[in-house]
Structure 1
Amino acid sequence: MARPPRETGRLDEVVRTCIGCRQRADKTNLVRVVAVQESTTSVVTPDPRGTLPGRGAHLHPTHRCLDLATRRKAFGRALRIEGPLDLSAVVALMEESGPTA
């Protein structure tokens, strides 16, 4: 449930659930990912600006949450897609983000 608008008319904060650790967090602390359909596979692509079309899922930018989401097969369920997934773009983003916290 969203908090009431402030004086600016915007909601106080937008909360999303990480598909890895299943903890709720402010949307600004999570990375949105979307599935982009390629010829034979779906590429899970980071969407830091939140502007790509399609169903999105949110993930903490840590290796721990990425590993949990991969083991639980959460990407396919959250993005409602079937078949092989290419997570290389998300893995590359996690490598750039720094330590394996």
Structure 2
Amino acid sequence: MDSVRTCVACRKRASRAELLRVVLHDDRLIADDRAVLPGRGAWVHPTAQCLERAVSRGAFPRALKVSGKPDTGPLENRLKTLMDN
């Protein structure tokens, strides 16, 4: 049974397979495709809409329990790659 997680942007519950885990690494948000990277993770639907909503609402720093504004560039680039394929 796949565990259920909540998207930090839209707050909808979904299986881990439908969501992308995001972790903070060197003050940059990166996609954890295999959900194996260490540290706290935040889950988001791999869509531009949910990513933009999470960034504009400050959902990632809150979910990851960090202060400041992490760099979302690496994550946005990764999502563009996913959506192009």
Question: Where does the alignment leave 5 or more consecutive residues of structure 2 unmatched?
Answer: none
State the partner residue of 1:4: none
Moved over 3 A (4+): none
Number of residues of Structure 1 aligned to a counterpart in Structure 2: 84
Structure with higher Rg: it is 1
State the partner residue of 1:18: 7
What does residue range 1-101 of structure 1 map to in structure 2 within 5 Å?
Answer: 12-37=1-26, 42-98=27-83
Q: Is the 8 A contact 2:2 2:17 kept in 1?
A: no
Give the TM-score normalised by the residue count of structure 1. Answer: 0.78
Q: Kindly indicate which of the two structures has a greater share of residues assigned to helix.
A: 2
Using the alignment, how far apart are the partners of 2:65 and 2:58 within structure 1?
11
- Per-residue CA distance 1:27-53 (angstroms, 9 max, x = gap): 01111011113xxxx111110011110
RMSD across aligned C-alpha pairs, in angstroms? 1.1
Question: Where does the alignment leave 5 or more consecutive residues of structure 1 unmatched?
Answer: 1-11
